[in-house]
Homo-oligomer: A and B are copies of this chain.
Amino acid sequence: MALIVQKFGGTSVADVEHIQAVAARVKAEVDNGNQVAVTVSAMAGVTNQLVNYVEQTGKLYDTAEYDVVVSSGEQVTSGLLALALQNMGVPARSWLGWQLPVKTNSAHAKARIEGIEADKILASINKGEVAVVAGFQGLGVDGRITTLGRGGTDTSGVALAAALGAERCDIYTDVDGVYTTDPRIVAKARKLDKITYEEMLEMASVGAKVLQTRSVEVAMKHGVRIQVRSSFSQDEGTLVVNEDEIVEQELISGIAYSRDEAKITLIGVADKPGIAARIFGPLADANINVDMIVQNVSADPAHVATDLTFTVTKADLERAVETVKAHAKDLGYKQLLSDPDVVKISVIGVGMRSHAGIAQRMFQSLADKGINIQVISTSEIKVSVLIAEEYAELALRSLHTTYGLDGE
C-alpha cells in the first residue's frame, strides 16, 4: 500500500461528466490498494471568468479580495469530486486551503506555501477516506485566503505530496508526458520515461509549459517524485525525479524552443563601465523582463564603442524599444535594430556537465543546414541559440537527429 497524490487540471474537470471520469481514475488507484489524496483545479474557464469579474470592478484591485473571488473555483471542484467519489462508493471528503491549513505567506495572488499541516488530513486518509484538496489556495498569515498564481495547483499537489510523505505525485494533464521535443513539429519525438528536476526546470523556462516552474522547484527541494501523465489515456507518463534515479542518463534529454522572443540590438554603444546598468535599469523599472544578453567585444580598435543585443518577450518589444529610445541621449548609441521574427532553441541535458563538445555539435548541425546563429547563451545543463523564426522547424528536426533522440 502506498500513498499517492493525484493532481487534475482544468480540462480534466471541465464539467461534471469529466469530474466523474476523474473519480473513476481515483477509484482505480484505491482499488489497487493505495491511499489517495487528490488536488484539483477549477473547472475549465471558471478562473478566467472570475478574474474577468474582478477586473470589471477596476484595473487596480486589492489582491486579497481577488483571492477570495478566484479561489472559489477550486472550492467548487473539490466538493463535486468528493460527491462523485462518494457516489461510486468511495469514501471521500473535500478539504479547503484554510481547513488543513495550507499555510502560505501573505503575498496575495502569488503566495508561496510555507508548510502544510498534515495531521487532520492524514487522520482522514487513515480512516479510509480519499482526501480531495482544493488546489491553488492557502491560508495567509493574515488569516485570509491566498492563491498561488496561475498553474498553482501543480505546486499544491507537490507540496501536499511532500507533507504527506507520498510515494509520488501524479500530475494529470492533457499531454501524456514530457517529450524529447514538441511532437507537433518533430514526428520522431519520443516520450521520455524519466527526466531530472533540473532538466524539467530548463524545459519549462524555454516554453514547454507542462508543469508550473515552482512545482518543480518544490519537488526538487523535497525529493517528491512527479509523474506527468494524461487524464485521457492509461499509458504511463514521464517521471520527474532526482538525477540518481536515472541509471542510464542520456547526454541530451530534450530540445525545447520558444517563439515568444524578440531581439533588440544597439549598435555603437559607448564601451565604458556602467553602460549596461544604464540600459537595463529603465527596462527593469518598466517591468520588462530581459532574457538573453550579449555584449560583443568591440571591433573598434580604440574601444570607444560596442554592440549590445538582448531579447525580451514579443509582447514587451514595443514598450522596450520606446523605453530605450526615451533614454537615447543618455545611452548614446548610434542605431537601434529590433526583430520580432526570432526563435530560441535550447538543447537540454544534465549529461552535458560531464561531456565536452555538446555546444559544438549544435553549432555544426545548424551550420550544416545554413542556419545563422544570432545569439548564444549557455547554462550548466543547457545551450540556447537565437535564430530566425523561419528556421525553427528545420533546426528542431536536425538537432533531434544530431543528438540521437529520434524514435520510431
Contacts and interface: CB of A to CB of B under 8 A. Distances in A.
Interface of A: 16, 19-20, 50, 53-54, 56-58, 61-62, 64-69, 71-73, 75-76, 78-80, 82-84, 86-87, 93-94, 96, 98-99, 143-145
Contact of A94 (B50, B61, B68, B93): B68
Contacts of A93: 64-65
Nearest to A86: B62
Complex A-B, nearest 10 residue pairs according to Cβ-Cβ distance, in ascending order: A68-B79, A69-B79, A72-B72, A58-B87, A16-B56, A57-B83, A65-B79, A65-B82, A65-B83, A57-B84
A75 B69 contact: yes
Contacts of A67: 79
B58 A80 contact: no
Contacts of A96: 68, 145
Contacts of A143: 99
Contact of A69 (B20, B62, B68, B80): B80
A117 to B, nearest CB: 13
Contacts of A86: 58, 61-62, 65
8 contacts: A20-B57, A54-B79, A54-B80, A54-B83, A58-B86, A58-B87, A61-B86, A64-B93
B53 A80 contact: yes
Contacts of A76: 50, 53, 68-69, 72
B87 A57 contact: yes
Q: Please tell me how many copies of the chain the complex holds.
A: 2
B99 A83 contact: no
A84 B54 CA distance: 9
Given A72-B75, A75-B75, 19 more contacts: A16-B53, A16-B56, A16-B57, A20-B57, A54-B79, A57-B84, A58-B84, A61-B83, A62-B82, A64-B93, A65-B94, A66-B83, A68-B75, A69-B75, A69-B83, A72-B73, A96-B145, A99-B143, A99-B144
Nearest to A43: B53
A145 B144 CA distance: 15
B79 A19 contact: no
A62 B83 contact: yes
A93 B83 CA distance: 32
Nearest to A62: B86
A79 B66 contact: yes
Contacts of A66: 79, 83
A83 B98 contact: no
A67 B98 CA distance: 16
Contacts of A68: 75-76, 78-79, 82, 94, 96
A19 B57 contact: yes
> Max chain B CB contacts within 10 Å: which of A57, A67, A73?
A57
A142 to B, nearest CB: 10
Contacts of A79: 54, 65-69
A206 to B, nearest CB: 36
A75 B87 CA distance: 26
A58 B88 CA distance: 10
Nearest to A134: B68
A193 B78 CA distance: 47
A66 to B, nearest CB: 7
A277 B16 CA distance: 44
